[in-house]
Amino acid sequence: MGIDLKTVKHISKLSRISLDDKKAKKLEADLNSIFSFIEKLNELNTENIEPLTSIAETTLQLRKDEIKIKNIRDQILKNSPEKNKDFFVVPKVVD
């Protein structure tokens, strides 16, 4: 399958992208290169190949969910911009 200059200009018109002749010829060559690579990939036999979802075939290490530090509310609330003993006070975002 080949893409000619007329098709490139038609696609650019449909997508509302302005191309001069130099860019259109470069794009024509690039698209033809991409399509020839796709045709090569289509020739591959993938009959017994499992789909790949990740290149890392490892599983995450699970750990026991434990509370290591208790009662750190005061330490956390020291970072609050406005002083309040129970929660963070943030600026109102909805009028």
User: Tell me: the pLDDT tens digits for 69-91?
Assistant: 888 888 888 888 777 778 887 77
Predicted TM-score of the model (pTM): 0.49
1 touches 39 (CB < 8 A): yes
3-18 average pLDDT score: 92
Tell me, what CATH number does 9's domain have?
1.10.20
Which pair of tokens denotes residue 14? Answer: 């449909």
Tell me the average pLDDT across 31-59.
87
Q: Is 31 within a domain? A: yes
Q: What is the 3-state secondary structure (H, E, C) of 25-52?
A: HHHHHHHHHHHHHHHHHHCCCCCCCCCC
- Give residues with Cβ within 8 angstroms of 28, minimum separation 6: 3, 4, 5, 8
- Which domain, by its residues, includes 16? 5-42
Does the residue 74 lie in any domain? no
Tokens of residue 50, six digits: 């499992």
